[in-house]
Amino acid sequence: MSVYVIAAFPMSETGAQDFIAWAEGDDGYAASEPREGYEFVQALIAEDNQTIYLVERWATKKDHQTYLEVRAKGGLMEFVIPRLISDFKVTYFNELDILRSTHAKSD
């Protein structure tokens, strides 16, 4: 079963805009897709225009952590850390099937 990851990056407004520009570039999330276990990523920005949330799905937690190690060695942390206004947080989630049938669309 896949694992969901939510990463929260509290940044200045300028830092958030820098992050968005990075994510859209060649070194951003386009580089994630070929990674083993990658399923999807969705970027969100909070109403404060400062906090970036990444909602990701990976085949396993290990796949995500391996990806993070590769990106950290590639300079991701050197880019992100100066733009943060407090610590970023990564949380892992397991999917529950309890609501799947109650919220299915009717024909």
Domain that holds residue 15: 3-94
Cα-based torsion angle of the residue sequence 8, 84, 33, 22 in order, rounded to the nearest 10 degrees: 140
Q: Where does the chain show beta strands of DSSP type E?
A: 3-10, 38-45, 51-58, 89-94
What rounded mean pLDDT belongs to the chain? Answer: 87
Percent of the chain residues topping a pLDDT of 90: 57
Q: With 70 as the cut, is the pLDDT of residue 6 above it?
A: yes
Q: What is the CATH number of the domain that holds 54?
A: 3.30.70.100
Please report whether residue 105 resides in a domain. no
Please report whether residue 101 resides in a domain. no
Cα-based torsion angle of the residue sequence 78, 24, 95, 37 in order, rounded to the nearest 10 degrees: -80
Biggest CA–CA distance in the chain, Å, is 50
Question: CA end-to-end span of the chain, whole Å?
Answer: 28
Number of structural domains, the chain?
A: 1
pLDDT at 32: 53
| Cα gap 59→65, rounded to integer Å | 11
Cα-based torsion angle of the residue sequence 70, 66, 95, 32 in order, rounded to the nearest 10 degrees: 30
